[in-house]
């Protein structure tokens, strides 16, 4: 499934990513967290604010490196689906 299809199916992911501007590749979790924190101290998911470091830190180390926005979208969707936070279909 293409990143645009995932963003259409999972608008919560699209909203989160719209607020960020990433420089790819993102090689490590620490790099990802630093890019997230550079934008804001909080991230909002489903109307609930979370500490950005906490939210960004939820991505497992094995998700890195992130090669592109499509790679990030795919992995975030997989994570949210696996945790039951968004429906599979």
Write out pLDDT tens, residues 34-45.
Answer: 999 998 888 887
Burial class (CB in 10 A: 0-12, 13-18, 19+), 82: exposed
What mean pLDDT is predicted for residues 21-32? 94
Partners of 49 in the β-ladder: 44
pTM for the predicted model, two decimal places:
0.78
Q: Is the pLDDT of residue 14 over 90?
A: no
Residue 74 has what pLDDT?
Answer: 85
Bridge partners of 44, per DSSP, are 49
Going from N- to C-terminal start, the domains of the chain cover 3-82
For residue 40, the model assigns a pLDDT of: 85
């Amino acid at each position: 499934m293409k990143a645009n299809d995932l963003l259409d199916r999972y608008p919560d992911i699209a909203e989160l990513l719209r607020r960020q501007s990433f420089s790819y590749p993102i090689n490590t979790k620490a790099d990802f967290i630093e890019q997230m924190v550079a934008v804001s101290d909080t991230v909002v998911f489903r109307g609930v604010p979370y500490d950005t470091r906490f939210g960004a830190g939820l991505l497992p180390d094995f998700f890195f490196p992130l090669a592109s926005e499509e790679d990030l979208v795919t992995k975030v969707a997989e994570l949210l689906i696996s945790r039951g936070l968004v429906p599979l279909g």
